[in-house]
Amino acid sequence: MKVALVGATGMVGEIMRSVLEERNFPITEFLPVASARSVGKTISFQGKDYTVIGLEEAVEHAPDLALFSAGGQTSLDWAPKFAAVGTTVIDNSSAWRMHPDHKLIVPEINADQLTPDDKIIANPNCSTIQMVMALAPLHKRYGIERVVVSTYQSITGTGVKAVQQLEDEYNGTDGEKAYPHPIHRNALPHCDVFMDNGYTKEEMKLVNETHKILDPNIKVTATAVRIPVVGGHSESVNLTLSQEANLDEVRELLNNTPGVVVVDDLVNNNYPMPLDAEGKDEVFVGRIRKDESQEKGLNLWIVADNLRKGAATNTVQIAEYLILNHN
């Protein structure tokens, strides 16, 4: 199993290396790939040192799998070149998510859609993954008519530059800015760029990707907010269901969903927080309660590590599914 990791030196690439190691992913040849400025650097994987190579050289090796976390334009330019030599690409950028010819996969929900002919597979947006993980069993049982989601997103979703900005502001030093305003002691209702409809791209990803993964008939509206947190993304989700839900059954459904953990013990002040989700692969759900302002309404609080289940782990899980079912 020859595996290329494209974007191996980036924030998500580093987490992906860790996830591959932790899950004992079956690799016989590892190819760390990055942009020209990182070619020649040395990185460690499974106790060995590897020299980072460029994209052209990686394509020449014709790997079995290429795990991409290198940005949308890189994916658009290079994923087809890998696919042309028989490589299966699993892409973590937004480049292919809404393309009608490419699958958008959360393994626990829709991996059974994949076939050996799928050579470019899209990994959903981090905030979408954790939300649909909780919504999928509820939609199957009760039907979901409408979703109103507000996110509280970690700065790690922006990247190293954002983490450095927060550290600089915390320490009172000047440095390069990832955001147009301070992030320390602040909240920015501005994730990604604004679009003509007044929503940001991040907000529309939640809408469009939920439609593609779950059901195009679900009405979705979103507000995405960046907060000075590094552990993971949090989401306040309000649902309008087709059928009245029993809260005990909701908790049982979610707890029995692979990859979802219910943390909902208000007596002991136990509820999901990014501080506790950091470094974990599960999606945590709590504050489960009826929406008392409307019939068939339900409120959830959903938290997950956006670099792991929201990115690296989901990618590796797709690869594991392919090995298990298509080899």
Q: Which residues are catalytic?
A: 126, 233
Whether 105 and 112 have beta carbons less than 8 Å apart is answered as no
Rg (CA), the chain: 20
Q: Tell the residue number behind the tokens 């190819």, with chain if given.
A: 31
Whether 42 and 52 have beta carbons less than 8 Å apart is answered as yes
Structure token pair of residue 228? 């000075």
Structure token pair of residue 76? 């658009």
Q: How many angstroms separate the Cα of 44 from the Cα of each of 7, 49, 70, 256?
A: 14, 4, 19, 37
Going by their DSSP bridges, the two strands 260-262 and 283-290 should be labelled as parallel
Query: How many C-beta neighbours within 10 Å does residue 102 have?
Result: 18
Structure token pair of residue 71? 């940005």
Closest CA to 7 of 64, 61, 63, 78: 78
